[in-house]
Structure formats: structure tokens, C-alpha cells
Amino acid sequence: MKVYLDNAATTPMANEVIDAMAEMMKNHFGNPSSTHAFGRDAKGVVEVARRTIAKIIGAEPKELIFTSGGTEADNMAITCAVNDLGVERIISSPTEHHAVGYCIEGEKDFEVAYVDLTETGQVDYNHLAELLKSDKKTLVSLMHANNEIGTLLDYKKVSELCRANGALFHSDTVQTMGHYKIDVTDFGADFLTCSAHKFHGPKGIGFLFVNKNLRLKPFILGGGQERGLRAGTENMSGIVGLAKAFELANEDVEGHQKHVQELKSYMMDELKARIPDVSFHGEVDPDKSLYTVLNVCFPEFDNKSMLLFLLDLEGIAVSGGSACNSGASTGSHVLRGINANTDRPNARFSFSRYTTKEEIDYSLDKIEEIVVGKLVKG
Ligand code: PLP
């Protein structure tokens, strides 16, 4: 059996998305910047997609800028906030995705302050309130859900604190767009980021939501695409795929959440019953944890460093953290950021609406075979 439980890294594309993209590629090849009929047709395709997405998140179409994905959208939000909006100080956390973390690290023209986190990766909101007491123009950049441990941000609290202190708010919503009903007014952020391949869309396409009251300058120079902010001929098939995937994901968000949360809770219960001393990184309360991610901390066992490889041999694809880190020898910055016990083997299991109970049962049996019986005593 082949079981894909690495959906936080990427998801398989939905057939309906592939069909929509193929139709677009066959029938709408014009350049959206051309003024002739072929160009106008292509422009129409892009703008229909933009309006479709904007409607779902309660934004105005002009507030969406298509990007090459979550990384570019995060980079654009932070870079433009500093270059164009006078931000002198950024408050963030040590467990952000590297698309944010690396963007704010090092010698820069702005100050960086890191908010304290609890051992489950929750933001210490009192500390955030303290940090916000500053005269300097500040951007708060905190992700909605952590991609490795799933801990959810109380975005309402953060947006209220930001508003009360005149700070801008950026949230990396790459793991939650398409998985929760997100409305930009309710969220209260100035910038939100999205990546299609996290909800059964294509790779290499996403968007940045920018509140319409903010005046940004071009992030990529060239033609006047994306209201002059992000030049380059539009990735039309990607844009169509993104819109289709977003529509499908949002058609029944609650239904998908219920299905996946049941599988996650079942897996947690079975692991606790079958594996001595097992625990979980991040929040265990379903209201505070992304329902698609389960980060398991296993007891010590012989061959513990081979865990992911042994699962792979059984056809089970999981990861040790974020996919972007799998080649790095430094371990997970997220687990370090919450002072987790990194001597113990861990694995991130991440689910999608297509994950089945049979797949979970098969994985549980194989995990038990690999871990139990080879436990290190003492
Ligand atoms: N932010 C988070 C939280 C992610 O999980 C990812 C992808 O792993 C990204 C940003 C980067 O998105 P993309 O792969 O579209 O560049």
C-alpha cells in the first residue's frame, strides 16, 4: 500500500483542477497584456479567477496580487512593509517558516524582536503587548498555523493588539487558506499569504492579500502586471488552477475539517494506546491546532534515526518537519524554538481531505511494527 501523509509539504492536485488548467491551456493562450482579442480573452480569464478568490475571502479583487507562491508572497509583504511603508521594527517568532524567518534575519535596516512562545508554540500575548509599546513603526509577522507542529494563532487577539498600537499585521496563512473559512475583514490583517499547492492546486502559484489602504511600490520591476507591483507575464494556467482549487476547497470546508479531524484524533488515540510514552509536539486541543498536522514524538528505539526511511520502505510518506528542511542537517528550527526534546525521534504526519481511515490503519500497524519491540529500555 502507498500512503501519502505529507500533505503539509504539498498535496496531490484535484482532477477538477487539472481539467480546468488543461482547458485554459488549450483555449486561452493569449498574453493578458495584449490589447487584441486574444489578449483581452486571456485578461478576462485572469480577472475572473481573481474575482472568484476575492469573493471567497471577502476581499476586493484589487487587493490580491498573484505571486509564484507562498515564499514570494511572504517576502513581498515584509520587503514592501519596510521599503514602502516606513516599517522600522518587526515583531515575529522563532518558529516562522523560513520564507519569513530568513527574510528578517541578519543585518538589516530594521530592528527585529521575537515574541516568547509557550512549549506548545503558542504566542505569549502579554509579551506581544509589551513588545508593541514602541514609538517605532512596527510590523507584526506571525503565522496563522505552524507548518511543523500545527499550533494555531489567536489572530483576533493579534489584530486587536496591532490596531491598538498602530502596528501593521502580516500573517502567513499558507497552511490555513483553503482549510478554514478565512475572511479578510474578520482576520484583521494587512497582509495574508496563500499557496495553491497546499490545497490540491498547482505548485508555483499563490497570492498576497494587501489591504487596499496601503500604498506599495513595485516589488518586481518590468511590465505593469498586477497593478504595476509584480511584473511578469501572468502564470495563467497556475492562476486558473489556484482559483479552481480554492473554490473546491471552500465548497465544504467544515465537511473536510470534520473528516480530517476525526482521522487525526483517531490516530492520536491509537498511537497512545499502542506506543508507550508517545507524545505530541504542539497543541493537542483541536481548537488550537491545525487539523491537518500531527507531529508525533516517539520514545527512543533502536534505529530511531531511520524512522522516516523505515516508514518510506513500507510505502508511507511522512516528513521530519517541513519539506524545505529535509536536506538540512541542523534539525528543526521549530522544535528548537519551543525547546522540544529533539533527542527523541519525531515525525510529522499531515492529512488531506482525500486521506482515508484504511490508510491511517495501515500506517498505525507499520508504526507499531517499527517502534514497539525495539524500544530502548530505561
Ligand atoms: N509558509 C508556510 C507556512 C509553508 O508551509 C510554506 C510551504 O511549505 C511556505 C510558506 C512556502 O510556500 P511555497 O512553497 O508556495 O513557496
- For residues 139-165, give the mean pLDDT: 98
Q: How confident is the model at residue 322 (pLDDT cuts 50, 70, 90)?
A: low
Q: How far is the CA of 57 from the centre of ligand 1 (A)?
A: 19
Instruction: Provide the percentage of residues in the chain whose pLDDT is more than 70.
Output: 97
Residue minimizing CA distance to atom 5 of ligand 1: 147
Q: How far is the CA of 3 from the centre of ligand 1 (A)?
A: 22
Q: How far is the CA of 12 from the centre of ligand 1 (A)?
A: 15
State the catalytic residue, choosing from 80, 162, 297, 324: 324
Q: Indicate whether 353 pLDDT > 70.
A: yes
Q: Which atom of ligand 1 is nearest to the CA of 204?
A: 15
Question: Would you state the pLDDT for residue 342?
Answer: 86
The CATH 3.90.1150.10 domain(s) of the chain lie at 3-11+252-372
Helix, strand, or coil here: 253?
Answer: helix
C-alpha separations of 355 from 3, 63, 90, 282, 363 in Å: 8, 33, 38, 22, 12
Rounded (to 5) percent helix, strand, coil in the chain: 45, 15, 40
N- to C-terminal Cα separation, the chain: 35
Question: Would you state the pLDDT for residue 331?
Answer: 84
Q: Indicate whether 329 pLDDT > 50.
A: no
Q: Which atom of ligand 1 is nearest to the CA of 96?
A: 3
Residue minimizing CA distance to atom 10 of ligand 1: 70
Question: Would you state the pLDDT for residue 330?
Answer: 63
Q: How far is the CA of 177 from the centre of ligand 1 (A)?
A: 11
> Are 335 and 148 spatial neighbours (Cβ–Cβ below 8 Å)?
yes
Query: In the annotation, is 324 catalytic?
Result: yes
Q: Indicate whether 250 pLDDT > 70.
A: yes
* Probe target for ligand 1 pocket from 68, 76, 171, 198, with the most ligand atoms within 8 Å of CB: 198
The CATH 3.40.640.10 domain(s) of the chain lie at 15-251
* pLDDT (tens digit per residue) in 264-289: 999 999 999 999 999 999 999 999 99
Interatomic CA distance for residues 168 and 87, integer angstroms:
9
108-112, 115-119, 207-211, 258-262: range with lowest mean pLDDT: 108-112
Instruction: Provide the percentage of residues in the chain whose pLDDT is more than 90.
Output: 92
| CATH code that applies to domain 15-251 | 3.40.640.10
Interatomic CA distance for residues 220 and 377, integer angstroms:
57
What are 316's strand-pairing partners?
Answer: 3
- 192-286-2 Cα angle (round to 5): 85
What are 177's strand-pairing partners?
Answer: 180
Q: How confident is the model at residue 378 (pLDDT cuts 50, 70, 90)?
A: low
Q: Indicate whether 377 pLDDT > 80.
A: no
Interatomic CA distance for residues 136 and 206, integer angstroms:
31
> Are 144 and 155 spatial neighbours (Cβ–Cβ below 8 Å)?
yes
Q: How confident is the model at residue 352 (pLDDT cuts 50, 70, 90)?
A: very high
How many Cα atoms sit within 13 Å of 118 on the Cβ side?
13
- Domain boundaries 3-11+252-372, CATH class: alpha beta
How many Cα atoms sit within 13 Å of 59 on the Cβ side?
29
* pLDDT (tens digit per residue) in 53-82: 999 999 999 999 999 999 999 999 999 999
- 127-132-137 Cα angle (round to 5): 155
- Contacts by 197-200, CB closer than 8 A, 24 or more apart: 197/10, 197/11, 197/69, 198/7, 198/8, 198/10, 198/11, 198/70, 198/174, 199/11, 199/245, 199/246, 199/249, 200/11, 200/12, 200/13, 200/14, 200/17, 200/245, 200/248, 200/249, 200/352, 200/353, 200/354
Beta-sheet pairing, 346-350 with 293-297: antiparallel
Question: Would you state the pLDDT for residue 376?
Answer: 82
| Lining residues, ligand 1, CB within 6 Å | 69-71, 74, 97, 99, 143, 147, 172, 174-175, 195, 206, 322, 324
